Structure 1
Amino acid sequence: MSISTADTDRLSATFGDVLKASRRASLLPLGMLAIALLYLVYTWFAFDMGKVFGAADAERSVILSRDSFHYKYQLEHSQRRNDFSITVEGNRETEIAGTEKIPAWVTRQNDETRVDLGDGHVAHFGNGFMDYTAPDGSLYQVRTTDEGVTVNGYRSILVDDRFYRFLPIGADPAAGLLNLEELAELGIIPQGASFATTKFEYAPDFYKRLRVTRSQVLVERYFFGWEFFWFGPKSPLAGMGLGEVWEVATSDQRIDPKLANYEYVFLQFWRNPDWQHNEMFIALLETLLMALLGTFVAAGVGLPLGFLAAANFNPFFASRMALRRLFDFLRGIDQIIWSLIFIRAFGLGPLTGSMAIAFTDTGTLGKLFSEAIENIDNKQVEGVRSTGAGAIQRYRFGVIPQILPVFVSQTLYYLESNIRSATVIGALGAGGIGLKLVQAMQTHKDWENVMYLIIMTLIVVIAMDMGSGWLRRKLTGAEAAKA
């Protein structure tokens, strides 16, 4: 069979049309991609992202990340009171009292303290002085005098109200001043130390830090782990292993005559002054209840409003439009904005967070439910009607079984999401775990407590995800089996 010239021309024309159509079709996504790239370039310069990334302190991020999995002993000698204290994380509630609990690397004699910081670093200090010995044997003598803090016989002066310069005590400034780098090169101060009239500060590495001011001498030493997580340093159970704690809990000899030993052990853990497990649990419970109350109120209000906003159940156009605009208004304002409004109106507390969640989710769930109702199969409703059922029965047996999977899945999904939202809202003052998290972050030193709170929140979110998934399968699966 031969192909004529006319057939060849028609095939060529058809192929050309297809090629042009494919080119036109590919131009649209390419054009949209180009617009998106141009917008990203615009936002980069409009928000000055280069400056934002330039201002980021990567070293501080590393320090805080490492601090999340370390604890520190803080040894302080007060210059004003001439007294000495050892605390964990600087918390007075965890102050170590009694020489029997002082760490082995700390030696006390009279009013002076010697601290072996490890790796050859040694600090010896008392009222008004600190002698620091480096691993190479270099000695740095820090003193507090009427002229301020001095190091190895050098003092600082402020030049032009901007820069600190250094010279020997009693020397004439006209003879010449040294800067910080020159002091380090001469071995007067350690490399990387901070020196000014008011303080001397040096951190040989992440695990050690020395600080001397006119009011205090401070030495900090870090260790890996979460020390005293189970029992505080003042607890008789501190430092015991699991077997020893079990023996105490099951012993017939009571530690506290008013409590059984297992109650005593639990309360020693529950009321740990540093980790505050009881307060953390109550805060987490507040967050959970905030999310539960807000979500279920939104679902309970959104379902009947969804019926009223559905075109196949409400024939009045004006009322449907009013309800839909109400949904837009409620969900158009973010939960954080609602929480700020309610904080101003009703004050701080979990109720404020619950109302913020309920308002926002009523708009969202009401819209979702109304759309689900409009998309139901009317044959099932008509079948129920044919039995002589009334309006309430038609809703119960003709509509609810069809929208139940959507109702359950969306409600449980928003419950999971609202646990995270309640944490953010709580940070603004509504209470719960969010407020505890902000308070821990503001201290700039208890980052292991911050990590503890984050892990607790993640555990609750994961548990809610698994529990809601199981409940969703049970409810929707049972309904599907009935259908």
Structure 2
Amino acid sequence: MTSMNRMHPQEMDAIAARHKDLLEKSNGKRLRLLSIWAGAALYLVFCWWMFSISDVLRNANWSIAGSYLADWVSYEVRPELEIAPDGTMKIDYGRFSPLGHNPTPEWVTLETETVQRTVSTTRAQTNTPKPSSTISFMVAPAKSADGGNDTPAVAEAVASRSEEVITRAVVSLGAGTSIEVADKQVSVNHSGETLVATVDGVAKTIPNGTLPAWAVQKRPGEKITLSFGARGWAEIDGDEVSIRRRFFGWANFVFDTNSPFFGKTKGEVLALITSGERLDPTRSNLALAWNNILYNAEWQHLDVWTKLLQTIVMAFVGTLFASLLAFPLCFLAARNITRNRVVNQVSKRFFDFLRSVDMLIWALFFTRAFGPGPLAGISAIFFTDTGTFGKLYSEALENIDEKQREGVKSVGAAPLAVQRFGVLPQVLPVFASQSLYFWESNTRSATIIGAVGAGGIGLKLWEAMRTNSDWENVAYMVLLILLVVFIFDGISNALRSRLMGAGLQR
């Protein structure tokens, strides 16, 4: 058996001589494949050179990229220590601190004392005789025309008051990283290294020794920027130490700092809702809690959900109107349905005009025409998809099985009946499948065109991105958009499968 399967070289040459065309085709196919791979490789090399990919990768600041990604899943608490020329300090957490009003976090240790502050006060002085006083008037009363002191004068007085100030502050950022400020000296511990800097309480910062790798000072005397990786960062200025400590998660996602439920544990909130005394006499605690969630000032849940619903409606209405208009027009563009070349070409060029202008450009145009809002977005989707649907529908019509149509026509059916029973059963599942796909796709597109003023969640997403600080809100909206797209994609795939299956059965 082995000797029979083996072929002598002369026999192989004889077969090759008799069937040269087969070998030539095989060699030609290999050459074409090799040419395609070579062309693709050359194109990739050209792109690498044209866009300077190597320089981009070499000069990229990956630390900024890491901080940017961390902003999506974390939040910052921002204590700021204001340093006076005498070395005393005040601490401020910002107006919209995620810790609420008057925060006292356990990772901040403060030592305070009461000092006497000298302050200057001013008041109006009239010609009414006053008892003798130790206060000296810096501005004498003005004289009237008859020599009297009728005109009030401004008097300046010196007074003292008691004030509580911070003399030493220690801020811990975790994992051995800490910042200590006392007597106009800032001591920073991080990664086993210590940085000591002296500040003057006005504008100058002087480091003691060489700066570690995680500290940067652009010019002598200017502020020092400290990077602590995932734990946060800080700045040491002459009169202030600004600290940004990072925490994983989304702060105050359910209740904001103005809610009476803020700062309470889940058990406490549940007890208040089920059996606690009313916090608001006009409504139950459950209604109050739901209202606080919807109108959360930091996350704006109700507004975000409303804008997301606008985006969904925008995509649905635009796609629906486009498919309804493209349906009758596609019969004019199909050459096997309408035997008029002029009508065919006019219809196809009309579809080309609508779909050749990008949806984003249409959105800009209609935002200018109708003003910002969902109407501009619906119109942009409607125009673009009418051209796309018209082209796809007409091509589906041109590829139908003519035998079914001829069979209906052979029994003497009217032209309208021929289209109804000979054409539509073949193309309707395809039309519905394509419409469902674009409905799901337009949900994503509606987000993009919303960013240019067409309304919906896209505009709100763009507003959050422009602040360059609310990236956790951006992440929240992106996750909602992804969730909606996943749901619609599943629904669209299931409906398309059933429709295409029904079409194949027919």
Q: TM-score range by the shorter chain?
A: 0.7 to 0.9
**Contact 1:190/1:202, CA 8 A, preserved across alignment:** no
Aligned AA for 1:440?
A
Q: Is the 8 A contact 2:404 2:422 kept in 1?
A: yes
Seen in structure 2, the aligned counterparts of structure 1 residues 242 and 192 have a Cα distance that, compared at 3 Å, is: closer
Q: 2:106 aligns with which of 95, 99, 104?
A: 104
SS in 2 for 1:434: helix
Q: 1:63 aligns with which of 39, 64, 67?
A: 67
- Conserved 8 A contact 1:210-1:219: yes
| Structure 1 residues 301-380: aligned runs within 5 Å | 301-380=325-404
Instruction: Provide the C-alpha distance between the structure 1 equivalents of 2:475 and 2:171, rounded to a whole number of angstroms.
Output: 29
AA in 1 matched with 2:107: W
> Of residues 180, 196, 199 in structure 2, which corresponds to 1:140?
196
Tell me, yes or no, if structure 1 residue 234 matches structure 2 residue 258: yes
Q: Secondary structure at the match of 1:266?
A: helix
Q: d(CA) in 2 for partners of 1:145 and 1:439?
A: 37
Flag the 1:302–1:65 CA change in 2: closer, same or farther, 3 A. Answer: same
Report the structure, 1 or 2, having the larger helix content.
1
**CA shift at 1:462, angstroms?**
0.3
Structure 1 residues 198, 389: closer, same or farther in 2, change over 3 A? farther
Question: Which residue identity lines up with residue 255 of structure 2 in the other structure?
Answer: F
1:81-100 mapped onto 2 (5 Å cutoff)? 84-86=91-93, 92=96, 94=98, 96-98=100-102
Query: 1:94, 1:233 within 8 Å by CA — same for their partners in 2?
Result: yes
Q: Which entry has the higher C-alpha Rg, 1 or 2?
A: 2
Query: Residues 205 and 236 of structure 2 are in contact (CA less than 8 Å); yes or no, is this contact kept in structure 1?
Result: no
Q: Which moved more, 1:413-422 or 1:239-248?
A: 239-248
Does residue 51 (structure 1) correspond to residue 55 (structure 2)? The answer is: yes
Q: Residue 234 and residue 390 in structure 1: after superposition, are their counterparts in 2 closer, same or farther (change >3 A)? A: same
Equivalent positions of 1:204-283 (< 5 A) are 204-213=228-237, 216-251=240-275, 253-283=277-307
Shift of 1:218: 1.7
Query: Does the alignment pair 1:468 with 2:472?
Result: no
Q: Is the 8 A contact 2:72 2:475 kept in 1?
A: yes
8 Å Cα contact 1:130-1:217 kept in structure 2: no
Match of residue 201 from structure 1? 225
Relative to structure 1, is the Cα distance of residues 400 and 220 closer, same or farther in structure 2, using a 3 angstrom cutoff?
Answer: same
The answer to whether the Cα contact below 8 Å between 2:77 and 2:99 also exists between their aligned partners in 1 is: no
Alpha-carbon contact 1:144-1:213 (below 8 Å) kept: no
The residue number in structure 2 matching 1:30 is 34
Show CA shifts across 1:135-184 (max 9, x none): 669563442555x22235x7xxxxxxxxxxxxxxxxxxxxxxxxxxxx42
Deviation at 1:246, TM superposition (A): 2.7
Q: 1:32 to 1:121 in 2, by over 3 A?
A: closer
Go from structure 1 to structure 2 and tell me whether the alpha carbon gap of 1:413 and 1:144 turns closer, same or farther (over 3 Å shift): farther
Question: Which residue in 2 is equivalent to 1:41?
Answer: 45
> C-alpha separation between the residues in 2 aligned to 1:191 and 1:57?
15
Question: Match for 1:143: what amino acid?
Answer: V
C-alpha distance 351-94 of structure 1, shift in aligned 2 (>3 A) = farther
CA distance in 2: counterparts of 1:264 and 1:9, whole angstroms: 92
Task: Please tell me the residue identity of whatever aligns with 1:461.
Answer: V
Please tell me whether residue 286 in structure 1 is matched to residue 310 in structure 2.
Answer: yes
The offset of 1:59, in angstroms, is 1.9
Shift of 1:221: 0.8
Query: Is structure 2 residue 175 aligned with structure 1 residue 119?
Result: yes
Q: Which moved more, 1:289-298 or 1:345-354?
A: 345-354
The alpha-carbon deviation at position 370 of structure 1 amounts to: 0.7
Q: Which residue of 1 aligns with 2:24?
A: 20
Question: What is the Cα deviation at residue 249 of structure 1?
Answer: 2.3
Equivalent of residue 192 in structure 1, options 190, 214, 217 = 214
How far apart in 2 are the matches of 1:396 and 1:226? 57
Give secondary structure in 2 for the equivalent of 1:92: coil
Deviations 1:370-410 (A, max 9, x none): 11122223444455556765444444443322211111110
| Contact 1:342 1:352 (C-alpha < 8 Å) held by counterparts | yes
Partner of 2:459: 435
Q: Residues 384-403 of structure 1: matches in 2 within 5 Å?
A: 384=408, 390-403=414-427
How far apart, in 2, do the equivalents of 1:396 and 1:41 lie?
54
Please, what TM-score do these two structures have when normalized by structure 1? 0.80
Measured in 2, the distance between the counterparts of 1:138 and 1:11 equals 84
| 8 Å Cα contact 1:94-1:273 kept in structure 2 | no
Classify the secondary structure of the residue corresponding to 1:206: helix
5+ residue gaps, structure 1: 1-5, 155-182
Q: Give per-residue Cα distances to partners, 1:189-228, cap 9 Å, x unaligned.
A: 5543223444232123331322244675421111122222
CA RMSD for the aligned pairs? 3.2
Aligned equivalents of 2:77 and 2:12: distance in 1? 89
Over 3 Å counting, the alpha-carbon distance change for 1:480 and 1:10 in structure 2 is closer
Q: TM-score, normalised by structure 2?
A: 0.76
Q: 1:145 to 1:67 in 2, by over 3 A?
A: same
How many percent identity over aligned positions? 39
Distance in structure 1 (CA, Å) of the matches to 2:173 and 2:464: 27
- Partner residue in 1 for 2:128: none
Evaluate the alpha carbon distance shift between residue 386 and residue 31 of structure 1 in structure 2; reply closer, same or farther with a 3 A threshold. closer
How far 1:478 sits from its partner (Å)? 5.3
| Equivalent residues of 2:205, 2:222 under 8 A apart | no
**3-state SS of the aligned residue for 1:210?**
strand
Relative to 1, partners in 2 of residues 1:130 and 1:477: Cα closer, same or farther, differing over 3 Å?
A: farther
1:271-307 CA-partner distances (Å, limit 9, x unpaired) = 2222222222122222222211221121111111111
Q: Shift of the alpha carbon at 1:325?
A: 1.4
C-alpha distance 377-453 of structure 1, shift in aligned 2 (>3 A):
same
Residues 474, 111 of structure 1: CA spacing in aligned structure 2 closer, same or farther, 3 A cutoff?
Answer: farther
Q: Is the 8 A contact 1:95 1:234 kept in 2?
A: no
The 1-side partners of 2:265 and 2:411 are apart by 71
Letter in 2 for 1:227: A
